[in-house]
Structure 1
Amino acid sequence: MPKLPTVFVSHGSPMLALEPGSAAPMLERLGCELPRPSAILTFSPHWMARGAALGASRAPETIHDFGGFDPQLYALNYPALGSPALAQRVAVLAAEAGWPTELAPTRGLDHGVWIPLRLMFPDADIPVVPLAMPWPLDAAGAYRLGQALAPLAAEGVLLLGTGALTHNLHEFDFGTRLDAPIEPYVTAFVEWIRQAVARGDTQALLDYRRQAPHATRAHPTDEHLLPLFWALGAAGPDAQVKLESGGVHYGSMAMDAWTFR
């Protein structure tokens, strides 16, 4: 079986499910272009655990883990099956690399998982296993965790890190238009990340909080960028990189994605 790419996507606001903007067409196209996986392992900042944990439900529920949004969002679901067998396999790989992992047999899919998956794989006919973000975790730790799970890509599993290229809710105004002018700090930060990923500068990326312009403004806390480092670790240093430009929503939510082959 050919090795699958690993992928990072920005899932943005829950409203991505209703307001497609510039990112939804990109995610739809990306789902069509990717080789069909046998299963999907997801890594989202919206499920954190002390130590690693894996969703092992045979039929994970759709979790509406947000409040105050359009009522239509709460009627949406993503009825993909789970894969307890894949969860067991991931647990073994993680444990071998020093990440003891518990199985969570009733865990569902948070919005960081099901919202992009509804766009990428709308038929919900591929099993999905969510991996919790161990906490505390930093960029180097996320990269190492991705490295531990790299063998899965050769076994037909799509490793999908889902987070946000920029994520500052402290400054976010929920009345902002989807197509609002882009904040200058977002442009500077996004360009730095793009260039560092393109040249394969892993050391600079892992040290982004010191080196990237406006890093602490783009990410007051860095959990939403950690899935990018996880995907980089799983892909390995020699992976070919393809940027999937998703534009910027609401002036401050950069929606880029990358595939690493």
Structure 2
Amino acid sequence: MLPSFFIAHGSPLLAIENNEYTHFINDLGKNLPRPKAIVIFSAHWESPVQQVSEVEQYSTIHDFGGFDPALYTIQYPAKGNHDVSKEIIDLLTANGIPFRMETKRGLDHGSWVVLRLLYPNADIPVIAMSVNPILTPQEQYKIGKSLSVLRDKDILIIASGGTSHNLMALNWADNGEITPWALEFEDWLAHHLHQWDLDSLFHYDSLAPNAQYAVPPHGKEHFIPIFYAMGAADDVQKAKLLHRSFRYGSLTHSVWQFG
């Protein structure tokens, strides 16, 4: 059985950088059993109703501006998989979760930056999924849980976002120092994830120190993918922090394995 993962996608620059974090994700892809397909929830695809892609051939969305021109030439020509999309909609239906099919949307950078680092050849089918920050964490967890059986079928479930993601608070000088409030928030999060303490995690916004800085209202969509990834491993309820580093003082690069 494959675990599920939460993987921070950081800045789009990760797609062309060569650093500790990109090396880690490269190695992770090499060391995991090769999946039959990948289901990925991206913070950059928000929708009030759960969206499930059913795309034969994905385009690559460059949904950012002002970065190195080289980023805009990158393509990640992944294919979809009709059978896996159908299995997902059957599972959502059985669990009473409303959804819509999406047949045209390409892969945003929350998806392709991570996938390209894991599987640079784009030779594994992908099913892209939206996230909904308006839902409660319990509802987001339930959506992930509804798909947990896919892990028994060699389908890799990834949620892409960022646990501390406040663009207004970044130190662009990036002098290597970690912002204290970000570290305090991440330590609280790690403790409760390791305990699988859903009661506390579902109320992170009122319980976690510095939550208002780490997960501001305009950045909530980056934090909540972690609940989809956790839900997908509800049958095991085991969390392991595989990597954590910081960029620009408070932008967290973290990889959590669940299950």
Q: TM-score range by the shorter chain?
A: over 0.9
* Stretches (4+) displaced over 3 A: none
Cα deviation for residue 170 of structure 1 reads: 2.1
Shift of 1:135: 5.5
Please say if 1:138 is aligned against 2:119. Answer: no
1:155-201 CA-to-partner distances (Å, cap 9, x unmatched) read 2211101110211012235x433x53111011101111111111221
Q: Which piece of structure 1 moves more, 247-256 or 80-89?
A: 80-89
2-side partners of 1:150 and 1:77: how far apart?
Answer: 30
Partner Cα separation in structure 2 for residue 120 and residue 176 of structure 1: 28
For the residues of structure 1 that align with 2:127 and 2:94, how far apart are their CA atoms? 19
Instruction: Supply the distance in 1 between the matched residues of 2:141 and 2:77 (Cα, whole angstroms).
Output: 30
Change (3 A) 1:27 1:246: farther
The letter for the 2-side match of 1:64 is: H
Gap regions ≥5 residues in structure 2: none
Aligned equivalents of 1:86, 1:134: Cα separation in 2: 21
Please give the per-residue CA displacement for 1:103-154, whole angstroms capped at 9, x wherever unaligned.
Answer: 1111111100000111111121100110111362232211111111111111
Q: Which runs of 5+ in 1 are unaligned?
A: none
- 1:235 matched residue in structure 2: 233
Contact residue 40 and residue 129 of structure 1 kept, 8 A: yes
In 2, Cα distance between equivalents of 1:119 and 1:139: 28
The one-letter amino acid paired with 2:179 is E
Aligned to 1:156: 154
CA RMSD of aligned residues (A): 1.5
Q: Is the Cα–Cα contact under 8 Å of residues 132 and 221 in structure 2 kept in the other structure?
A: no
SS at match of 2:158: strand
Task: Indicate if the aligned counterparts of 1:7 and 1:231 stay in contact, CA closer than 8 A.
Answer: yes
8 Å Cα contact 1:26/1:246 also seen in 2: no
- Asked if 1:63 is matched to 2:66, the reply is no
Where 1:95 maps in the other structure, the secondary structure is helix
- Deviation by residue 1:9-53 (Cα, 9 ceiling, x = unmatched): 011111111234331111112112222110000001111122111
Identity among equivalent positions (%) equals 37
- Residue 215 of structure 1 corresponds to which residue in structure 2? 211
Q: Secondary structure in 2 aligned to 1:165? A: coil
In structure 2, the partner of 1:82 is 80
| 3-state SS of 1:57 partner | coil
Paired residues, number: 257
Distance in structure 2 (CA, Å) of the matches to 1:132 and 1:241: 23
Letter in 2 for 1:187: L
Contact preservation (8 Å) 1:244, 1:258: yes
